[in-house]
Amino acid sequence: MLGVENLSVAYGKVNVIKGVSFELRPSLVALIGPNGSGKTTLLKAIAGMVPYSGEVLIDGINLRRIRVDRRTEYVTYVPPTISALPDMTIGDLLLSDSSADVALLERYVRIFGVERLLFRRIWEVSSGELERALLARGLARRSKVLLVDEPLSYTDVRYQLVVMRCLRRLANEGRVVVVASNQLNPLLNYVDRVLALKDGKLFINAPLKTGVDEDKLSELYGVKMKVITIDNIVDVVPVEEARG
């Protein structure tokens, strides 16, 4: 269980998250919203990586009461990218995590096709490959809450499905998995619930069926959105207003 109560985050005088509250059972949750709406900040606050006001509860335990060196047992934030010192290799990246379960790490390295990249320098691999390595690293912990930031932006279609299937399985095993992304397909075809942020406030918090609403999504993104279903695969596409 992940409980967030009246969470706010400010960077200097700019309020990025403005009093967000929600509660999530073990499930796979989509976190969507326009650029700059506060998705990354919300995830980092839940992971205790940025100062926040309000409370974060994981299985009823207040995040502030969890010893920092044991925090990864409770929550992991998987960043979308990094700015490493050149000459660090993908292998260095994966092994820099002492809280990882090595057997599990090896499994995810195989699943995400990272094994042939281990001796490559970080700046020599593509953005998608780096993203997969970061995922393997993050998933190799047994955190109760998994916060995955933009795992679908650089990965190709095949790995997008691999990633979503993996996250789906983790949610089925009893983890709370939150995925921040705007790649609505495949995202919405795997999740149980949709959270949407707009200007730092919770705009949608609903199960998938009611969450994917054309009017709400159009208002969220500020363009007309249309939900289409082909062979039970849901996609949400922007519709250009008729010109002329």
- Which position among 54, 79, 113, 128 is part of the footprint of another protein (CB under 8 A)? 79
Are the CB atoms for 186 and 161 separated by under 8 Å? yes
Query: Is 215 buried (19+), middle (13-18) or exposed (0-12) by CB count in 10 A?
Result: exposed
Q: Is 101 in the site for another protein (CB under 8 A)?
A: no
DSSP 173: T
Q: Alpha-carbon distance 23 to 167, whole Å?
A: 19
Q: Is 102 in the site for another protein (CB under 8 A)?
A: no
Using alpha carbons, select from 174, 151, 170, 172 the residue that is nearest to residue 161.
Answer: 151
Placement of tokens 């096709």 in the chain: 113
- Which position among 5, 97, 106, 219 is part of the footprint of another protein (CB under 8 A)? 97
Are the CB atoms for 191 and 177 separated by under 8 Å? no
Of 88-96, 102-110, 158-166, 200-208, which part binds another protein (CB under 8 A)?
Answer: 88-96
Q: Is 98 in the site for another protein (CB under 8 A)?
A: yes
Q: Is 77 in the site for another protein (CB under 8 A)?
A: yes
Q: Contact letters (x/-) for another protein, 14-53, by CB under 8 A?
A: ------------------------------x--xxx----
Of 13-21, 22-30, 73-81, 211-219, which part binds another protein (CB under 8 A)?
Answer: 73-81
Beta-ladder partners of 155: none
Q: Which residues bind another protein (CB under 8 A)?
A: 44, 47-49, 67-72, 76-77, 79, 82-89, 91-93, 95-98, 119, 122, 124
